[in-house]
Amino acid sequence: MVDMPAPRPYHHGDLRAALLRSAERTLREKGAATLSLRELARDVGVSHAAPGRHFKDKRALLDELALTGYERLINALETADAPEQPLEQRMSGLARAYLQFAIDHPELLELMFARKHEPDTPDGSDTSDNSDISEGSDTSDRFASAVDRSIGSLTRLVADAQERGEIVPGDPERITTVMAASLHGLAALVAACALPPDEALSGLDEHVHHLLHGLTPR
């Protein structure tokens, strides 16, 4: 009789990270609709009940996947920010970090934007369970904080430039919204295959120049 090798023990301290990696791979290859905690458990080699230790349901998994996406985007933007550089170069660096993230992770970015608009309850109607309300509120707070932090680099850039008289006075958040809309619009064109990624990246400095200085002849 041939001895079968003993199953390799799974280090449960890594289970949450392993599930999120598997979920992101499935998201990228097949889309969010195909995600299943049972399938993810099979993919990482644990019992179908094991993911429940970390994620209450699919919604909780998607929320956490989106939040980890925000953390990665925030880290990319904070790493790219260089306050010592002139305004246009500083903004180009931030724009490039955002656009590169959008090009590398289009499905994840779409999920990030979608999940932050989800209602606080699983189906948007039943609010009888106070634990669901509390959990939903906490998740909403985490998304609000993540969104604020992700836009924070641009807001700081605007505020710094206003202090130096390099950008028109006004509400920094409203001006930041204009900048963010322009950059996300560029990313959306890439995601829609209306603009090749390499062309978007190569023309990014000119895009930022027009954004900062306008299109009116001088």
Task: Confirm whether pTM is higher than 0.75.
Answer: yes
Cα separation, 47 vs 62, whole angstroms? 20
**pLDDT tens by residue, the chain, 218 residues:** 445 444 444 555 688 899 899 999 999 999 988 888 988 888 888 888 887 788 889 998 999 999 999 999 999 999 999 999 999 999 999 999 999 999 999 999 999 998 876 644 444 344 444 445 445 678 889 999 999 999 999 999 999 999 999 999 999 999 999 999 999 999 999 999 999 999 999 999 999 999 999 888 87
pLDDT in tens, 114-141: 887 664 444 434 444 444 544 567 888 9
Which residues make up the CATH 1.10.10 domain(s) of the chain? 13-55
DSSP-H helix ranges across the chain: 15-30, 37-44, 58-80, 87-104, 106-115, 130-163, 172-191, 197-202, 204-213
At residue 39, the pLDDT reads 87
- In the structure encoding, which two tokens stand for residue 208, read together? 């930022």
At residue 132, the pLDDT reads 52
Which residues have C-beta within 8 Å of that of residue 145, sequence separation ≥ 6?
none
Residue bearing tokens 């836009």 = 151
Structurally, at CATH architecture level, domain 13-55 sits in: Orthogonal Bundle (1.10)
At residue 154, the pLDDT reads 94
Name the CATH superfamily for 57-121+144-218: Tetracycline Repressor, domain 2 (1.10.357.10)
Backbone angles phi, psi at 122, to 5 degrees: -55, -40
Which residues make up the CATH 1.10.357.10 domain(s) of the chain? 57-121+144-218
